[in-house]
Structure 1
């Protein structure tokens, strides 16, 4: 199982310089890939712009972002943007995890219909295939043959359809129980569709190591997930790994469940979090 690390782009007050330092340290400490997320109505850095900058600050580490795809209403422009970032990163480094988007406020602020987001995502996938395949004059063709691998970051019936017909795999949110349940459905659906090989099964786990980091995690979680209610917030705080022992337990659990890639998402913007996580992982890293 490969282990990646999340950039703290969602932490209030984080700077661009800090994100680049995170990326450089992650590559130096042997993490397989970097991850960043997407949200509009928040102080988060835009994920594709972030990865373009990170691509220039690193050389080898893989790049992954969850992108709220239906917010990109100009599908041809989105295809061109992805292809451009793919060139800046170099062939094979970029991977995208497309999400329909769970928060109505992101769509309201964009002037888009939250309830049409599934149809918009399917239309966007059609445009990606057309733009990357045909010589239609829109942007560069991706540096990666066929375009960057696409995962889907949802666990619904439409998500399962997209994963098994149009994607390379699935990115799970935090929680081993959800991963175990839905990954079995992904594997079964993959076989039923007659797909060759196996789907990529990736997962995320939140972490914060050290007292200051744990305090920051609680504050950030309450703000970022304020829409979800107190029960959900309490559950997210409880499942965040805050000790080296919990880090090791998460790795072992996901490895037993057949996870291919596990991303530890930093809940604090101190670049020392990279080193603390690497030290906690020990020989599990790499």
Structure 2
């Protein structure tokens, strides 16, 4: 597949809702992110920190998204990503529709099959297997589509669905059938291979793969220059949405601001 890069380049920040014992730190980080010119502000959907002190401060995803919908004016918002296992999919569709309205049509519905076993064990969810969780995700995507069609009032727009992951048999098949945005966590060579697999699934589904926006995380770079070089290489492959993950309590925006300047200087 020839990479498609005619979409606008977008910069996102993932404000990881961990290690910020005062919610005001997150509120301030959202404000600073919007002021810095980012296009999307994500959080994540977990109940405990993923790194650092495992029992450190942490806040819940969707309650926070509703607050962000009121706080912000321009940026899109969403979870990177919502765990499919934690909420009834019809309820999740209604939650998403409500946040969509609160935000004036700025929600991205990020979804994944789930993987963090502690969340499941401590909150009483059935962990199942990787395969069963992916099958459940496929069923949920169908139910969410059906529920969106019955809600009154309906969503303000087609709510973009973002799916994360690169599993070649199931995850990318779900992406081909349901996603508006595909988020991956891979290097350039791996991305090129996964993109070719996705193109085959799109052909099976009768869908043009160019309809799907490509997204990845830019993190772990030794410098802002390294991050920009990584973004240039992925952009050449068709990726146009670049996310920087930030940890509490400080949520420093230096790398984000560098990538916003890279975006604006292209």
TM-score normalised to structure 2 length: 0.82
Q: In the TM superposition, what is the alpha-carbon distance from 1:97 to its structure 2 partner?
A: 1.9
Distance 2:182 2:109 in 1: 11
Distance 2:235 2:21 in 1: 31
Distance 1:279 1:152 in 2: 26
The answer for the alignment partner of 1:4 in structure 2 is 12
Q: Structure 1 pair 192/68, CA: closer, same or farther in 2 (3 Å)?
A: same
The answer for the alignment partner of 1:260 in structure 2 is 240
Q: Structure 1 pair 39/150, CA: closer, same or farther in 2 (3 Å)?
A: same
Q: 1:117 aligns with which of 133, 137, 140?
A: 133
Question: CA RMSD of the aligned region, Å?
Answer: 2.2
Q: Structure 1 pair 150/241, CA: closer, same or farther in 2 (3 Å)?
A: same
Distance 2:234 2:173 in 1: 24
The answer for the alignment partner of 2:54 in structure 1 is none
The answer for the alignment partner of 2:165 in structure 1 is 154
Distance 1:140 1:40 in 2: 31
Q: In the TM superposition, what is the alpha-carbon distance from 1:87 to its structure 2 partner?
A: 0.8
Q: In the TM superposition, what is the alpha-carbon distance from 1:64 to its structure 2 partner?
A: 2.6
Q: In the TM superposition, what is the alpha-carbon distance from 1:99 to its structure 2 partner?
A: 0.8
Q: Structure 1 pair 15/187, CA: closer, same or farther in 2 (3 Å)?
A: farther
Structure with greater helix percent: 1
Distance 1:244 1:268 in 2: 20
The answer for the alignment partner of 2:203 in structure 1 is 191
Q: How many residues align?
A: 243
Whether the 8 Å contact between 1:3 and 1:261 is mirrored in structure 2 is yes
Distance 1:245 1:268 in 2: 24
Q: Structure 1 pair 278/169, CA: closer, same or farther in 2 (3 Å)?
A: closer
Q: Where does structure 1 lack aligned partners over 5 or more consecutive residues?
A: 207-239
Q: Structure 1 pair 205/45, CA: closer, same or farther in 2 (3 Å)?
A: farther
Q: Structure 1 pair 26/194, CA: closer, same or farther in 2 (3 Å)?
A: same
> Secondary structure of 1:95's partner?
strand
The answer for the alignment partner of 1:226 in structure 2 is none
> Secondary structure of 1:285's partner?
helix
User: Which shows bigger deviation, 23-32 or 186-195?
Assistant: 186-195
The answer for the alignment partner of 1:235 in structure 2 is none
TM-score normalised to structure 1 length: 0.77
